[in-house]
Structure 1
Amino acid sequence: MFAFRETLALDPDPASGSRVEVAFTDVSLDLREGDRLGAALAALSDAAGVPFSRLDQVHGAAVVAVTGPADELPSADGQVAAARGVGLMVRVADCVPVVLADPTAGVLGAAHAGRRGVELDVVTRTVEGMRALGAADIVAWVGPHICGRCYEVPATMREEVAAAVPTTYAETSWGTPALDLGAGVSAQLAAAGVAATRVPGCTLEDRRFHSHRRDGAAAGRFAGLVWLS
Protein backbone atom coordinates (compact mmCIF):
# COMPACT_ATOMS: atom_id res chain seq x y z
CA MET A 1 0.00 0.00 0.00
CA PHE A 2 2.80 2.45 0.87
CA ALA A 3 5.72 2.96 -1.51
CA PHE A 4 7.26 5.37 1.01
CA ARG A 5 6.56 6.06 4.67
CA GLU A 6 8.39 8.14 7.26
CA THR A 7 7.67 8.90 10.91
CA LEU A 8 8.78 11.96 12.86
CA ALA A 9 8.52 12.28 16.64
CA LEU A 10 6.61 15.32 17.82
CA ASP A 11 8.57 17.91 19.77
CA PRO A 12 8.80 19.06 22.48
CA ASP A 13 7.35 15.87 23.96
CA PRO A 14 8.55 12.87 21.92
CA ALA A 15 7.65 10.58 24.84
CA SER A 16 3.96 11.35 24.34
CA GLY A 17 3.67 8.73 21.61
CA SER A 18 2.34 11.21 19.06
CA ARG A 19 3.97 11.15 15.64
CA VAL A 20 3.87 12.96 12.33
CA GLU A 21 3.43 10.35 9.62
CA VAL A 22 4.18 10.90 5.94
CA ALA A 23 3.42 8.41 3.17
CA PHE A 24 2.95 7.99 -0.57
CA THR A 25 0.77 5.12 -1.71
CA ASP A 26 1.57 2.73 -4.55
CA VAL A 27 -0.27 1.22 -7.50
CA SER A 28 -1.87 -1.47 -5.32
CA LEU A 29 -4.35 1.19 -4.13
CA ASP A 30 -6.48 3.15 -6.63
CA LEU A 31 -7.86 6.40 -5.21
CA ARG A 32 -9.53 7.80 -8.32
CA GLU A 33 -13.19 8.83 -8.16
CA GLY A 34 -15.56 5.96 -8.75
CA ASP A 35 -17.45 3.10 -7.18
CA ARG A 36 -14.35 1.59 -5.59
CA LEU A 37 -13.10 4.78 -3.94
CA GLY A 38 -15.02 4.20 -0.70
CA ALA A 39 -13.41 0.82 -0.12
CA ALA A 40 -9.95 2.21 -0.96
CA LEU A 41 -10.39 5.12 1.47
CA ALA A 42 -11.57 2.74 4.19
CA ALA A 43 -8.52 0.51 3.70
CA LEU A 44 -6.25 3.52 3.83
CA SER A 45 -7.86 4.88 7.00
CA ASP A 46 -7.56 1.46 8.65
CA ALA A 47 -3.85 1.30 7.79
CA ALA A 48 -3.13 4.82 9.02
CA GLY A 49 -5.52 4.96 11.95
CA VAL A 50 -7.11 8.27 10.88
CA PRO A 51 -9.64 9.47 8.30
CA PHE A 52 -8.28 11.62 5.48
CA SER A 53 -9.49 14.98 4.22
CA ARG A 54 -9.41 15.17 0.43
CA LEU A 55 -10.11 17.86 -2.13
CA ASP A 56 -11.89 18.52 -5.38
CA GLN A 57 -8.60 19.33 -7.12
CA VAL A 58 -9.02 21.95 -9.84
CA HIS A 59 -5.42 22.79 -10.88
CA GLY A 60 -5.45 26.15 -9.12
CA ALA A 61 -3.80 27.82 -6.14
CA ALA A 62 -6.62 27.94 -3.59
CA VAL A 63 -5.79 26.58 -0.12
CA VAL A 64 -8.32 25.68 2.56
CA ALA A 65 -7.99 25.11 6.30
CA VAL A 66 -9.74 21.90 7.36
CA THR A 67 -10.59 20.08 10.58
CA GLY A 68 -11.59 16.76 9.06
CA PRO A 69 -13.15 15.04 6.06
CA ALA A 70 -16.07 16.93 4.51
CA ASP A 71 -19.18 15.54 2.82
CA GLU A 72 -18.80 18.18 0.11
CA LEU A 73 -15.20 18.35 -1.06
CA PRO A 74 -13.63 21.83 -1.09
CA SER A 75 -12.54 22.98 -4.55
CA ALA A 76 -8.87 23.66 -3.89
CA ASP A 77 -5.40 22.27 -4.50
CA GLY A 78 -3.92 22.85 -1.06
CA GLN A 79 -5.12 22.17 2.44
CA VAL A 80 -3.78 22.83 5.93
CA ALA A 81 -4.80 21.62 9.38
CA ALA A 82 -3.82 21.90 13.03
CA ALA A 83 -6.19 19.20 14.31
CA ARG A 84 -5.15 15.82 15.67
CA GLY A 85 -6.89 12.71 14.46
CA VAL A 86 -7.18 13.80 10.84
CA GLY A 87 -4.95 13.25 7.85
CA LEU A 88 -4.49 15.30 4.69
CA MET A 89 -4.50 13.76 1.22
CA VAL A 90 -3.73 14.88 -2.32
CA ARG A 91 -4.24 12.51 -5.24
CA VAL A 92 -2.11 12.44 -8.37
CA ALA A 93 -1.19 10.44 -11.46
CA ASP A 94 1.82 12.47 -12.75
CA CYS A 95 1.45 15.83 -10.95
CA VAL A 96 3.61 16.59 -7.93
CA PRO A 97 2.21 15.62 -4.52
CA VAL A 98 3.71 17.74 -1.75
CA VAL A 99 3.12 17.08 1.95
CA LEU A 100 4.36 19.33 4.73
CA ALA A 101 4.55 19.42 8.52
CA ASP A 102 5.74 21.49 11.41
CA PRO A 103 6.32 18.72 13.98
CA THR A 104 6.71 21.19 16.85
CA ALA A 105 3.50 23.10 16.17
CA GLY A 106 1.57 20.05 14.96
CA VAL A 107 0.50 21.86 11.79
CA LEU A 108 0.13 19.91 8.54
CA GLY A 109 -0.19 20.80 4.87
CA ALA A 110 -0.66 19.08 1.52
CA ALA A 111 -0.59 20.45 -2.03
CA HIS A 112 -1.38 19.12 -5.49
CA ALA A 113 1.06 20.80 -7.86
CA GLY A 114 0.31 20.14 -11.51
CA ARG A 115 1.59 22.30 -14.34
CA ARG A 116 -0.89 25.08 -13.60
CA GLY A 117 -0.47 24.75 -9.84
CA VAL A 118 3.29 25.13 -10.14
CA GLU A 119 2.84 28.17 -12.36
CA LEU A 120 0.42 29.68 -9.81
CA ASP A 121 2.65 28.64 -6.86
CA VAL A 122 0.14 26.61 -4.87
CA VAL A 123 3.01 25.27 -2.74
CA THR A 124 3.91 28.72 -1.38
CA ARG A 125 0.22 29.43 -0.74
CA THR A 126 0.09 26.21 1.30
CA VAL A 127 3.15 27.23 3.33
CA GLU A 128 1.49 30.59 4.02
CA GLY A 129 -1.68 28.79 5.15
CA MET A 130 0.34 26.68 7.58
CA ARG A 131 2.08 29.73 8.99
CA ALA A 132 -1.30 31.35 9.56
CA LEU A 133 -2.08 28.37 11.84
CA GLY A 134 1.12 28.85 13.83
CA ALA A 135 3.68 26.82 11.89
CA ALA A 136 7.23 28.14 12.01
CA ASP A 137 9.66 25.30 11.27
CA ILE A 138 8.14 23.55 8.26
CA VAL A 139 9.61 20.56 6.44
CA ALA A 140 8.29 19.09 3.19
CA TRP A 141 8.36 15.93 1.11
CA VAL A 142 8.13 16.22 -2.68
CA GLY A 143 6.57 12.98 -3.85
CA PRO A 144 6.98 10.88 -6.99
CA HIS A 145 5.89 12.62 -10.19
CA ILE A 146 6.63 12.65 -13.89
CA CYS A 147 10.21 13.80 -14.35
CA GLY A 148 11.60 16.48 -16.63
CA ARG A 149 13.11 13.87 -18.96
CA CYS A 150 9.62 12.46 -19.65
CA TYR A 151 7.15 15.35 -19.35
CA GLU A 152 7.00 16.51 -22.97
CA VAL A 153 4.99 19.68 -23.61
CA PRO A 154 4.57 22.14 -26.49
CA ALA A 155 7.37 24.69 -26.75
CA THR A 156 4.92 27.56 -26.10
CA MET A 157 3.76 25.91 -22.86
CA ARG A 158 7.34 25.42 -21.69
CA GLU A 159 8.06 29.10 -22.32
CA GLU A 160 4.91 30.22 -20.51
CA VAL A 161 5.53 28.16 -17.37
CA ALA A 162 9.28 28.83 -17.28
CA ALA A 163 8.61 32.56 -17.50
CA ALA A 164 6.92 32.24 -14.09
CA VAL A 165 9.11 29.46 -12.65
CA PRO A 166 12.48 29.35 -14.48
CA THR A 167 13.65 26.08 -12.92
CA THR A 168 10.86 24.18 -14.70
CA TYR A 169 12.55 24.66 -18.11
CA ALA A 170 13.63 21.21 -19.31
CA GLU A 171 14.22 18.93 -22.27
CA THR A 172 13.10 15.33 -22.68
CA SER A 173 15.62 12.53 -23.01
CA TRP A 174 14.78 12.50 -26.72
CA GLY A 175 15.44 16.22 -27.17
CA THR A 176 12.00 17.87 -27.19
CA PRO A 177 10.57 20.65 -24.96
CA ALA A 178 9.66 19.54 -21.44
CA LEU A 179 8.82 20.79 -17.96
CA ASP A 180 10.47 19.71 -14.72
CA LEU A 181 7.69 20.34 -12.24
CA GLY A 182 9.64 18.81 -9.37
CA ALA A 183 12.48 21.27 -9.86
CA GLY A 184 9.97 24.10 -9.87
CA VAL A 185 8.34 22.93 -6.64
CA SER A 186 11.72 22.46 -4.96
CA ALA A 187 12.75 26.00 -5.89
CA GLN A 188 9.49 27.41 -4.55
CA LEU A 189 9.89 25.57 -1.25
CA ALA A 190 13.49 26.79 -0.92
CA ALA A 191 12.39 30.38 -1.59
CA ALA A 192 9.76 29.99 1.15
CA GLY A 193 12.41 28.80 3.61
CA VAL A 194 11.17 25.20 3.71
CA ALA A 195 13.61 22.26 3.73
CA ALA A 196 12.43 19.49 1.43
CA THR A 197 13.07 15.79 0.90
CA ARG A 198 12.70 14.52 -2.66
CA VAL A 199 11.10 11.07 -2.73
CA PRO A 200 12.43 9.35 -5.86
CA GLY A 201 10.35 7.91 -8.66
CA CYS A 202 9.21 9.08 -12.10
CA THR A 203 5.58 8.06 -12.42
CA LEU A 204 5.86 7.43 -16.16
CA GLU A 205 8.88 5.12 -15.76
CA ASP A 206 8.18 3.55 -12.36
CA ARG A 207 5.24 1.16 -12.40
CA ARG A 208 4.87 1.33 -8.62
CA PHE A 209 2.84 4.49 -9.29
CA HIS A 210 -0.19 5.43 -11.36
CA SER A 211 0.55 7.56 -14.45
CA HIS A 212 -1.91 9.28 -16.76
CA ARG A 213 0.78 9.83 -19.37
CA ARG A 214 1.53 6.11 -19.41
CA ASP A 215 -1.95 4.62 -18.98
CA GLY A 216 -4.33 7.29 -20.28
CA ALA A 217 -7.97 7.11 -19.22
CA ALA A 218 -7.32 3.82 -17.42
CA ALA A 219 -4.88 5.45 -14.99
CA GLY A 220 -5.66 5.26 -11.31
CA ARG A 221 -4.60 7.76 -8.67
CA PHE A 222 -2.09 7.47 -5.84
CA ALA A 223 -1.84 9.75 -2.86
CA GLY A 224 0.49 11.91 -0.85
CA LEU A 225 -0.49 11.71 2.82
CA VAL A 226 0.41 13.39 6.10
CA TRP A 227 -1.21 12.85 9.50
CA LEU A 228 -0.69 13.02 13.26
CA SER A 229 -0.87 9.53 14.71
Structure 2
Amino acid sequence: MTRRGGVSGGAVAGLQCGFGADDDPAAVRRNRQLAAEAVLPGARLVGLHQVHSSDVVVVDDPWPEEERPRADALVTGRPGLLLGIVTADCAPVLLADRAAGVVGAAHAGWRGAQAGVLENTVEAMVALGADRSAIAAAIGPCIMQQSYEVDDGFRARFGSRESRFFVPGRPGHWQFDLPAYAAMRLRSAGVERVEALCRDTYAEPELFYSFRRATHRGEPNYGRLISLVGLSA
Protein backbone atom coordinates (compact mmCIF):
# COMPACT_ATOMS: atom_id res chain seq x y z
CA MET A 1 0.00 0.00 0.00
CA THR A 2 1.04 3.62 -0.57
CA ARG A 3 -0.13 6.60 1.50
CA ARG A 4 -2.66 7.63 -1.16
CA GLY A 5 -6.29 7.66 -0.16
CA GLY A 6 -7.33 7.29 3.44
CA VAL A 7 -8.86 9.76 5.86
CA SER A 8 -5.94 11.02 7.98
CA GLY A 9 -4.98 14.68 7.81
CA GLY A 10 -2.19 17.05 8.77
CA ALA A 11 1.44 15.92 8.71
CA VAL A 12 0.38 12.29 8.21
CA ALA A 13 -2.34 12.92 5.62
CA GLY A 14 -3.43 9.90 3.65
CA LEU A 15 -3.73 6.18 4.34
CA GLN A 16 -1.90 6.35 7.67
CA CYS A 17 -2.17 2.92 9.31
CA GLY A 18 -0.01 3.10 12.44
CA PHE A 19 -1.34 3.62 15.96
CA GLY A 20 1.98 5.18 17.03
CA ALA A 21 1.76 8.19 14.73
CA ASP A 22 -0.16 10.50 17.11
CA ASP A 23 -3.05 10.24 14.67
CA ASP A 24 -6.77 10.11 15.44
CA PRO A 25 -7.38 6.43 16.39
CA ALA A 26 -10.70 6.50 14.55
CA ALA A 27 -8.92 7.61 11.39
CA VAL A 28 -6.31 4.87 11.80
CA ARG A 29 -9.00 2.23 12.20
CA ARG A 30 -10.83 3.50 9.14
CA ASN A 31 -7.62 3.51 7.10
CA ARG A 32 -6.79 -0.03 8.16
CA GLN A 33 -10.30 -1.12 7.24
CA LEU A 34 -9.98 0.50 3.82
CA ALA A 35 -6.65 -1.22 3.22
CA ALA A 36 -7.95 -4.61 4.33
CA GLU A 37 -11.05 -4.38 2.16
CA ALA A 38 -8.90 -3.49 -0.85
CA VAL A 39 -6.76 -6.61 -0.42
CA LEU A 40 -9.04 -9.32 0.99
CA PRO A 41 -12.65 -8.24 1.49
CA GLY A 42 -14.26 -9.71 4.58
CA ALA A 43 -10.98 -10.84 6.16
CA ARG A 44 -10.02 -10.09 9.78
CA LEU A 45 -6.94 -7.86 9.98
CA VAL A 46 -4.33 -8.89 12.54
CA GLY A 47 -1.44 -6.64 13.58
CA LEU A 48 1.33 -6.34 16.16
CA HIS A 49 2.96 -3.92 18.55
CA GLN A 50 6.25 -3.87 16.63
CA VAL A 51 9.47 -3.55 18.63
CA HIS A 52 12.36 -4.30 16.19
CA SER A 53 12.73 -7.83 17.54
CA SER A 54 13.23 -11.25 15.97
CA ASP A 55 10.01 -12.59 17.50
CA VAL A 56 7.32 -14.29 15.40
CA VAL A 57 3.70 -14.99 16.38
CA VAL A 58 1.62 -17.82 14.92
CA VAL A 59 -1.94 -16.58 14.38
CA ASP A 60 -4.87 -18.93 14.80
CA ASP A 61 -7.45 -16.37 15.91
CA PRO A 62 -7.43 -12.56 15.82
CA TRP A 63 -6.89 -10.68 19.06
CA PRO A 64 -8.30 -7.37 20.28
CA GLU A 65 -6.45 -4.29 19.10
CA GLU A 66 -5.39 -3.40 22.65
CA GLU A 67 -3.88 -6.89 23.16
CA ARG A 68 -1.52 -6.87 20.19
CA PRO A 69 1.57 -8.99 20.97
CA ARG A 70 4.99 -7.34 21.05
CA ALA A 71 6.68 -8.99 18.08
CA ASP A 72 7.73 -8.26 14.50
CA ALA A 73 6.37 -11.05 12.34
CA LEU A 74 3.19 -13.06 11.90
CA VAL A 75 2.46 -16.38 10.21
CA THR A 76 -0.78 -18.26 9.64
CA GLY A 77 -2.30 -21.13 7.75
CA ARG A 78 -5.85 -20.03 8.47
CA PRO A 79 -7.96 -18.60 5.64
CA GLY A 80 -9.84 -15.39 6.29
CA LEU A 81 -7.06 -13.71 8.28
CA LEU A 82 -5.08 -10.79 6.90
CA LEU A 83 -1.61 -10.24 8.36
CA GLY A 84 -0.56 -6.58 8.59
CA ILE A 85 2.87 -5.01 9.08
CA VAL A 86 3.43 -1.26 9.35
CA THR A 87 6.64 0.46 8.24
CA ALA A 88 8.15 3.88 7.67
CA ASP A 89 11.56 3.07 6.06
CA CYS A 90 12.05 -0.47 7.42
CA ALA A 91 11.42 -3.29 4.97
CA PRO A 92 8.02 -5.00 4.94
CA VAL A 93 8.48 -8.60 3.84
CA LEU A 94 5.51 -10.70 2.72
CA LEU A 95 5.90 -14.45 2.25
CA ALA A 96 3.66 -17.20 0.89
CA ASP A 97 3.69 -20.89 0.08
CA ARG A 98 0.51 -21.00 -1.96
CA ALA A 99 0.45 -24.77 -2.32
CA ALA A 100 0.70 -25.34 1.43
CA GLY A 101 -1.64 -22.46 2.25
CA VAL A 102 0.77 -20.73 4.62
CA VAL A 103 1.62 -17.01 4.64
CA GLY A 104 3.83 -14.70 6.69
CA ALA A 105 4.54 -11.00 7.15
CA ALA A 106 7.65 -9.52 8.74
CA HIS A 107 8.88 -6.08 9.80
CA ALA A 108 12.57 -6.05 8.89
CA GLY A 109 14.56 -3.03 9.89
CA TRP A 110 18.29 -3.55 10.12
CA ARG A 111 18.06 -4.53 13.79
CA GLY A 112 15.37 -7.16 13.34
CA ALA A 113 16.91 -8.51 10.14
CA GLN A 114 20.30 -8.85 11.80
CA ALA A 115 18.70 -10.59 14.79
CA GLY A 116 17.03 -13.16 12.54
CA VAL A 117 13.39 -12.11 12.17
CA LEU A 118 13.27 -13.28 8.56
CA GLU A 119 14.81 -16.68 9.24
CA ASN A 120 12.48 -17.10 12.21
CA THR A 121 9.49 -16.27 10.02
CA VAL A 122 10.50 -18.91 7.50
CA GLU A 123 10.98 -21.49 10.25
CA ALA A 124 7.55 -20.70 11.69
CA MET A 125 6.00 -21.14 8.25
CA VAL A 126 7.77 -24.48 7.80
CA ALA A 127 6.40 -25.60 11.17
CA LEU A 128 2.90 -24.94 9.76
CA GLY A 129 3.58 -27.11 6.72
CA ALA A 130 5.28 -24.78 4.25
CA ASP A 131 8.15 -25.98 2.07
CA ARG A 132 10.94 -23.42 2.27
CA SER A 133 11.88 -24.06 -1.37
CA ALA A 134 8.28 -23.22 -2.37
CA ILE A 135 8.06 -19.97 -0.39
CA ALA A 136 8.00 -16.77 -2.42
CA ALA A 137 8.96 -13.50 -0.70
CA ALA A 138 8.34 -9.89 -1.65
CA ILE A 139 10.25 -6.97 -0.12
CA GLY A 140 8.06 -3.89 -0.23
CA PRO A 141 8.84 -0.15 -0.25
CA CYS A 142 11.65 0.78 2.14
CA ILE A 143 14.56 3.14 2.40
CA MET A 144 17.00 2.46 -0.45
CA GLN A 145 20.77 2.56 -0.38
CA GLN A 146 21.07 6.02 -1.94
CA SER A 147 19.00 7.46 0.93
CA TYR A 148 20.29 5.37 3.83
CA GLU A 149 23.39 7.06 5.19
CA VAL A 150 24.97 5.43 8.26
CA ASP A 151 28.12 6.14 10.25
CA ASP A 152 31.21 4.09 11.06
CA GLY A 153 29.63 2.85 14.29
CA PHE A 154 26.72 1.37 12.38
CA ARG A 155 29.05 -0.22 9.83
CA ALA A 156 31.04 -1.83 12.65
CA ARG A 157 27.96 -3.83 13.71
CA PHE A 158 28.30 -5.92 10.54
CA GLY A 159 30.98 -8.44 9.68
CA SER A 160 33.44 -8.41 6.80
CA ARG A 161 31.27 -10.84 4.83
CA GLU A 162 28.52 -8.21 4.84
CA SER A 163 30.70 -5.46 3.41
CA ARG A 164 28.97 -5.77 0.04
CA PHE A 165 25.89 -4.09 1.52
CA PHE A 166 27.83 -0.87 2.15
CA VAL A 167 29.34 1.68 -0.22
CA PRO A 168 31.48 4.60 0.97
CA GLY A 169 29.77 7.96 1.37
CA ARG A 170 31.09 11.20 2.82
CA PRO A 171 34.00 10.83 5.28
CA GLY A 172 33.10 8.56 8.17
CA HIS A 173 29.85 7.47 6.56
CA TRP A 174 28.43 4.71 4.37
CA GLN A 175 25.32 3.96 2.34
CA PHE A 176 23.57 0.78 3.50
CA ASP A 177 21.52 -1.47 1.20
CA LEU A 178 18.69 -2.68 3.44
CA PRO A 179 16.59 -4.55 0.83
CA ALA A 180 19.65 -6.42 -0.48
CA TYR A 181 20.59 -7.35 3.08
CA ALA A 182 17.05 -8.60 3.75
CA ALA A 183 17.12 -10.60 0.52
CA MET A 184 20.38 -12.23 1.56
CA ARG A 185 18.91 -13.23 4.92
CA LEU A 186 15.89 -14.76 3.17
CA ARG A 187 18.05 -16.74 0.79
CA SER A 188 20.19 -17.96 3.67
CA ALA A 189 16.96 -19.38 5.13
CA GLY A 190 16.31 -21.34 1.93
CA VAL A 191 13.87 -18.96 0.22
CA GLU A 192 14.85 -19.06 -3.44
CA ARG A 193 12.23 -16.72 -4.89
CA VAL A 194 12.80 -13.21 -3.55
CA GLU A 195 11.63 -10.06 -5.29
CA ALA A 196 12.28 -6.52 -4.07
CA LEU A 197 10.00 -3.72 -5.21
CA CYS A 198 12.94 -1.25 -5.06
CA ARG A 199 10.85 1.82 -4.23
CA ASP A 200 12.46 4.38 -1.94
CA THR A 201 10.26 5.54 0.93
CA TYR A 202 12.59 8.45 1.67
CA ALA A 203 12.69 9.81 -1.87
CA GLU A 204 8.99 9.57 -2.79
CA PRO A 205 7.00 11.69 -0.30
CA GLU A 206 3.85 11.69 -2.45
CA LEU A 207 3.62 7.91 -2.17
CA PHE A 208 5.32 6.87 1.04
CA TYR A 209 5.81 7.83 4.67
CA SER A 210 9.40 7.98 5.93
CA PHE A 211 10.74 8.28 9.45
CA ARG A 212 14.12 9.53 8.26
CA ARG A 213 12.67 12.11 5.89
CA ALA A 214 10.34 13.44 8.58
CA THR A 215 13.30 13.65 10.98
CA HIS A 216 15.48 15.50 8.49
CA ARG A 217 12.68 17.95 7.74
CA GLY A 218 11.91 18.54 11.41
CA GLU A 219 8.32 17.39 10.98
CA PRO A 220 6.34 16.73 14.18
CA ASN A 221 5.50 13.13 13.34
CA TYR A 222 5.55 10.53 10.60
CA GLY A 223 3.02 8.13 9.20
CA ARG A 224 3.17 4.38 8.73
CA LEU A 225 2.48 2.38 5.59
CA ILE A 226 0.76 -0.98 5.82
CA SER A 227 1.65 -4.18 3.95
CA LEU A 228 -0.83 -7.05 3.93
CA VAL A 229 -0.96 -10.74 3.06
CA GLY A 230 -3.64 -13.34 3.67
CA LEU A 231 -5.43 -16.46 2.51
CA SER A 232 -8.88 -16.26 1.01
CA ALA A 233 -11.54 -18.34 2.71
For normalisation by structure 1, the TM-score amounts to 0.83
* Partner amino acid, structure 2, of 1:66: V
The structure-2 alpha-carbon separation of the partners of 1:160 and 1:81, relative to structure 1 and needing over 3 Å to count, comes to same
> In structure 1, which of residues 42, 67, 78 is the aligned counterpart of residue 33 of structure 2?
42
Higher mean C-alpha displacement, 41-50 vs 202-211: 41-50
Q: Contact 1:161 / 1:168 at 8 angstroms: preserved in 2? A: no
Structure 1 runs (4+) greater than 3 angstroms displaced: 161-168
Instruction: Supply the distance in 1 between the matched residues of 2:33 and 2:164 (Cα, whole angstroms).
Output: 38
> In structure 2, which of residues 48, 53, 63 is the aligned counterpart of residue 60 of structure 1?
53
The structure-2 alpha-carbon separation of the partners of 1:162 and 1:151, relative to structure 1 and needing over 3 Å to count, comes to farther
Match status 1:26 vs 2:2:
yes
Equivalent residue of 1:144, what SS? Answer: coil
Q: Contact 2:144 / 2:198 at 8 angstroms: preserved in 1? A: no
Instruction: Supply the distance in 1 between the matched residues of 2:165 and 2:63 (Cα, whole angstroms).
Output: 34
Identity between Structure 1 and Structure 2 (%): 35
Q: How many residues are treated as equivalent by the alignment?
A: 204
Higher mean C-alpha displacement, 82-91 vs 219-228: 219-228
For normalisation by structure 2, the TM-score amounts to 0.82
Q: Contact 1:149 / 1:170 at 8 angstroms: preserved in 2? A: no
Match status 1:197 vs 2:195:
yes
* Partner amino acid, structure 2, of 1:199: L
Q: Contact 1:97 / 1:143 at 8 angstroms: preserved in 2? A: yes
Residue in structure 2 matched with residue 141 of structure 1 by the alignment: 138
* Partner amino acid, structure 2, of 1:212: F
**Gapped regions of structure 2 (runs ≥ 5):** 5-14
Residue in structure 1 matched with residue 212 of structure 2 by the alignment: 213
Q: Contact 1:99 / 1:225 at 8 angstroms: preserved in 2? A: yes
In the TM superposition, residue 206 of structure 1 has moved relative to its aligned partner by 1.8
> In structure 2, which of residues 226, 229, 233 is the aligned counterpart of residue 226 of structure 1?
229
* Partner amino acid, structure 1, of 2:33: A
